[in-house]
A and B are shown apart, each in its own frame.
Chain A
Amino acid sequence: MVDRSRWLTILSHTVMLLGVLMVAFPLYLALIASTHTAEAIVQVPMPLLPGSNMWETYKAALFGGGKLGSNTSVAHMMWVSFVTAIVITVGKILISLLSAFAIVYFRFPFKMFFFWAIFVTLMLPVEVRILPTYKVVADLGMINTYAGLTLPLIASATATFLFRQFFLTVPDELVEAARMDGAGPMRFFKDILLPLSKTSIAALFVIQFIYGWNQYLWPLLMTTSEDMYPVVIGIKRMLAGGEAANDWNIVMATAILAMLPPALVVILMQKWFVKGLVDTEK
């Protein structure tokens, strides 16, 4: 039974509001900063209300023309990020679906070996294997290419396990009924398993898209030309550092732009999540 004392309600609401403020305030500042000119921002105190410079700032950011640091337009960098994230996400989901399908529904030689091999890669994040991966990618001539940006990141043990756990909950009788109906394995996969996995796929899509979008270390290592930079690297490179003054308004605008696609993905996919949770089937 929840204690309904008013004091406690006020306290908990205050704590939550404070939490929201702490998270939202920097975002708000960034948004405000992107609507002023660079000179207006560096004044003390920093303005807290939106300025009138929004269109110019965003235009400058999106289409290039920043005086220092990166010369590339944010629009192009966002495109690179987007392509990378989508390829990684779709690739991961496809590969994990098929591996989980094989592990759960088939018997083949060395099955247990492969299962444990996949499991072991859970202990090897990108950072641990980065030197050998770089060597392989460089030798294959994939530096500065989309393939090099995406392929080393495209296999996922977590996704495989998530799907494996889900497939194990699919009742055996569905498989048997499908067998009686004459459905072969790939038919069963396409017609029955995939539709049932929709919520898992939606969940993984969100997680992997954000993962792919936020990739920093790997692109940093293996892209040397500015037109292959994803936007998270672009933000860093805008900060020229040292004595020169930064175009803070453009930097802030870029940050806001960089946050938009993942936020959109979460918001759009949420519909699918909730729908999947509400439609519990048996």
Chain B
Amino acid sequence: MASIQLHNVIKTYGSGKHALQVIHGINATIADHEFIVIVGPSGCGKSTLLRMVAGLEEISGGEISIGGRVVNDLEPSERDIAMVFQNYALYPHMSVFDNMAYGLKIKKVPLAEIKARVDKAAGILELGHLLDRKPRALSGGQRQRVAMGRAIVRQPQVFLFDEPLSNLDAKLRVQTRLEIQKLHRELSITSLFVTHDQVEAMTLAQRMIVMNAGRVEQFGTPEEVYNRPATTFVASFMGSPPMNLLKHLPNADFGGPAGAILGIRPEHLQISGTGWAMQVEAIEMLGAERLVYGRLGVEALIVRMDESQPSPLLGATIHAAPRTDRLHWFDSASGQRL
């Protein structure tokens, strides 16, 4: 059973007067075989959390269990996990084969078994022809695949990914994303994937943990997180362009509580004759769609238009009507969903 349990996990740096708590009591249960993405802005503590699960950071408070065992005091190599690093962390002086075999060699796995596992992983990742090369003779994408191969041969209970796609160029990122999905379908190993990119989160996650400043803002499926964000942070973080959050409503008869923040996604605003009057300030042409940035009184508003309507002129006043079934209401003090 490779489930992961986070029970009131706390991380504090320093001690006494200078103690800085960066992770404030995180609780989460991850089931066996799940692909979980931890997403959040830089500095929110997601890598720290991952490293605590890996054993590379000490756990200041609470408990982490993997497969039913509490692992707080276990060394990384004893936790039956494998990690893929952002900078690949391949041993530069060893061949691809030796890189993948190193962990098994230390565990004194017989050579025949090592070869079998490495060959199998190389087959899955299409690295068979590269086994004798050194990392410096590989491209970035190939190096990342070797790093994944190194994790696969350990046959762990859990895979940990620490922003593995951040060092790849845009096209390679999309390709590797698909490969990671394929890998998960084939091997079905519980995975924790950390990223700051919400597109990666949406496409890879079965469920995602959205983190901000050391706290979990929402833990749900991509569907839930996108369509029913629990806080204004989640609402504005997920989705590109971000959700419009309006504090000074131009028209209060949408049925929301007084003083609440209204959230509406750019794609749920329709340019028509009626609706909110906004002044167009900028237009971004994305190919299949247009993003219109404008001003609604003192508030900024973004509207997504598809190609069925002509582009408005800069400086013109247009009317944007919101879809009334897609309104989100948030408490203006706490940011929580109402």
A248-282 with Cβ < 8 A to chain B = 279-282
Per-residue CB contact flags for chain B residues 77-100 toward chain A (1 = under 8 Å, else 0) read 100011101111111110000000
The size of the chain B interface, using a CB distance under 8 A, is 26
Most chain B CB inside 10 Å of its own CB: which residue of A176, A180, A183, A282: A180
The reply to whether the CB of B102 lies closer than 8 angstroms to some CB of chain A is: yes
Per-residue CB contact flags for chain A residues 185-219 toward chain B (1 = under 8 Å, else 0) read 00100011001100000000000000000000000
Task: List 6 additional A-B contacts (Cβ < 8 Å) besides A177-B150, A180-B76, A180-B103.
Answer: A174-B89, A177-B85, A178-B91, A180-B77, A183-B77, A196-B93
Residues in B with CB closer than 8 Å to A280 are 136
In the complex, the chain B residue whose C-beta lies closest to that of A194 is: B93
Q: In the docked arrangement, what's the CA distance between A177 and B85, Å? A: 8
- Is there contact, CB below 8 Å, between A182 and B103? yes
* Of A178, A195, A281, the contact of B136 (CB 8 Å cutoff): A281
Residues in B with CB closer than 8 Å to A173 are 85-89
The reply to whether the CB of B289 lies closer than 8 angstroms to some CB of chain A is: no
A157-190 with Cβ < 8 A to chain B = 171, 173-174, 176-183, 187
Q: In the docked arrangement, what's the CA distance between A279 and B134, Å? A: 11
Residues in A with CB closer than 8 Å to B222 are none
The reply to whether the CB of B320 lies closer than 8 angstroms to some CB of chain A is: no
Residues in B with CB closer than 8 Å to A182 are 75, 77, 103, 106-107
Residues in A with CB closer than 8 Å to B56 are 176, 179-180
- Is there contact, CB below 8 Å, between A281 and B92? yes
B288-322 with Cβ < 8 A to chain A = none
Binding site of A, secondary structure by majority: helix, strand, loop or mixed? helix
Given contacts A171-B89, A187-B106, A281-B92, contact A179 B76 (CB under 8 A): yes
Q: How near does chain A come to B78, taking the closest CB pair, in angstroms?
A: 8
The size of the chain A interface, using a CB distance under 8 A, is 20
Q: How near does chain B come to A192, taking the closest CB pair, in angstroms?
A: 6
Q: In the docked arrangement, what's the CA distance between A155 and B284, Å? A: 67
* Of A180, A187, A192, A282, the contact of B91 (CB 8 Å cutoff): A192
* Of B77, B92, B102, the contact of A196 (CB 8 Å cutoff): B92
The reply to whether the CB of B263 lies closer than 8 angstroms to some CB of chain A is: no
- Is there contact, CB below 8 Å, between B89 and A176? yes
B129-166 with Cβ < 8 A to chain A = 134-136, 150
Per-residue CB contact flags for chain B residues 268-293 toward chain A (1 = under 8 Å, else 0) read 00000000000000000000000000
- Is there contact, CB below 8 Å, between A179 and B92? no
Residues in A with CB closer than 8 Å to B91 are 174, 177-178, 191-192
- Is there contact, CB below 8 Å, between A181 and B89? no
Q: In the docked arrangement, what's the CA distance between A50 and B236, Å? A: 89
Given contacts A174-B91, A196-B93, A281-B92, contact A179 B75 (CB under 8 A): yes
Residues in A with CB closer than 8 Å to B77 are 179-183
- Is there contact, CB below 8 Å, between B54 and A180? yes
In the complex, the chain A residue whose C-beta lies closest to that of B151 is: A180
16 residue pairs from A and B, CB less than 8 Å apart: A171-B87, A171-B89, A173-B88, A174-B91, A176-B76, A176-B85, A176-B89, A177-B83, A179-B55, A179-B76, A181-B102, A182-B106, A183-B102, A183-B106, A279-B136, A281-B135
Q: How near does chain A come to B280, taking the closest CB pair, in angstroms?
A: 47
Q: In the docked arrangement, what's the CA distance between A146 and B103, Å? A: 43
Given contacts A171-B87, A281-B135, contact A180 B81 (CB under 8 A): yes
Q: In the docked arrangement, what's the CA distance between A212 and B83, Å? A: 46
Q: In the docked arrangement, what's the CA distance between A181 and B154, Å? A: 9
- Is there contact, CB below 8 Å, between A181 and B135? no
